Amino acid sequence: MTNVHDNILGLIGNTPLVKLNEVTKEIPATVYAKLESFNPGHSTKDRIAIHIIEAAERKGLLKPGSTVVETTSGNTGFSIAMVCIIKGYHCILAVSDKTKKEKIAYLKALGATVYICPANVAADDPRSYYEVAKRVASETPDSIYINQYFNELNIDAHYRTTGPEIWEQTEGKITHLIACTGTGGTLSGSAKFLKEKNPAIKVIGVDASGSILKSYHETGEIHKEDIHPYQIEGMGKNLIPSALLFDKIDEFVRVNDEMAAYRTREIALKEAIMGGYTTGAVTQGLLQYANSHEFTKDDLVVVIFPDHGSRYITKVYSDEWMAEQGFVNNGVHNYDEVYKTELIK
């Protein structure tokens, strides 16, 4: 029998590359998107969830009935909850109040206990989702805290899987890797492997406007004036994760909520790929990078699309939400012409 698995976890990894044709038509390079939505939990976070949990099992830290605790903007939580179901663990997650209701409902549907924490507080505030997760883990017997922001296994998961997959899929011809940065594990682990294969590969991180990662990479200092609220989930940070290997990244570009939102919807309309908000963000990052750097027809670029758009239907794919943000008829896109809705009376 082929393509048969003992359980859903056997589907993690080996996600496809798909060539982008329309949104990148002004770029002479060949651009492929790595569609992490093809993981069973529909995001790249499946890779770290199974890797970190199975490492804890090997160390004897988990046994049936144990509890796994983590902070998440959604995707890591989905993946951990999925793994916990199969392996017989309880799952407790701390999320920010920026997380949409459908994501929280999804987490609860997978059996997770969810703590909702304020997003716009300092990372060391006892109300932040980082501190709440730490407290819950310390107070819960027989539990582990995944701590993806400061867990080297976050990097290792992608060093062992995502990086090698990209190298093999491109037959070693990749010249540029571009990905969004949140915890940093996806880009760092992939970049570490790829640069060992070919140090000339350019690695570009995409940061959010409102985050400190880009300026920290450039100056080695935290610029608190960069911090302000933003809408893109799972991207950017107001702290410096140790899972982000800044020395493996050649350059950062910073994108804003509005252009990332437009680009997300443009990818759906022109490439028929329903990606998450960070899919639009990484594509916008690619286009901004292309404006200041010379790509050639011999370049082969891989951008990582982290998750699926089904988790953003009431956010970036909602006409009402876009209008609430003021992302309409502003000279950037003609919203009324591009996103049409016909009302039958």
Give the CATH number for residue 138: 3.40.50.1100
Residues 262 and 183 both lie in one domain = yes
The domain containing residue 60 runs over which residues?
A: 45-149
Residues 63 and 140 both lie in one domain = yes
Marked catalytic residue, from 34, 45, 103, 248: 45
Residues 32 and 130 both lie in one domain = no
Q: What was the pLDDT predicted at 218?
A: 94
Residues 73 and 200 both lie in one domain = no
Q: What pTM was estimated for this model as a whole?
A: 0.92
Residue 155 lies in a domain: no
Residue 283 lies in a domain: yes
Q: What was the pLDDT predicted at 123?
A: 80
Higher pLDDT, 99 or 290: 290
Higher pLDDT, 332 or 118: 118
Q: What was the pLDDT predicted at 343?
A: 47
Q: What was the pLDDT predicted at 332?
A: 47
Residue 342 lies in a domain: no
Residues 88 and 18 both lie in one domain = no
* Residue 45 a catalytic site member: yes
Residues 266 and 189 both lie in one domain = yes
Q: What was the pLDDT predicted at 334?
A: 52
Residues 307 and 172 both lie in one domain = yes
Q: Does the structure show a pLDDT above 60 at 330?
A: no
- Helix 277-292 and helix 257-271, axial crossing angle in degrees, nearest 10: 100
Distance from C-alpha of 110 to C-alpha of 99, rounded to nearest angstrom: 16
Residues 315 and 259 both lie in one domain = yes
Residue ending a domain, choose from 129, 149, 169: 149
Give how many domains the chain has, as a whole number: 2
Residues 142 and 216 both lie in one domain = no
Residue ending a domain, choose from 117, 149, 181: 149
Residue ending a domain, choose from 149, 180, 200: 149
Instruction: Give the tens place of pLDDT for each residue, 193-202.
Output: 999 999 999 9
What torsion do the CA atoms of 220, 221, 225, 230 make, to the nearest 10 degrees?
50
Amino acid occupying residue 231: Q
Whole-number average pLDDT of the chain:
92
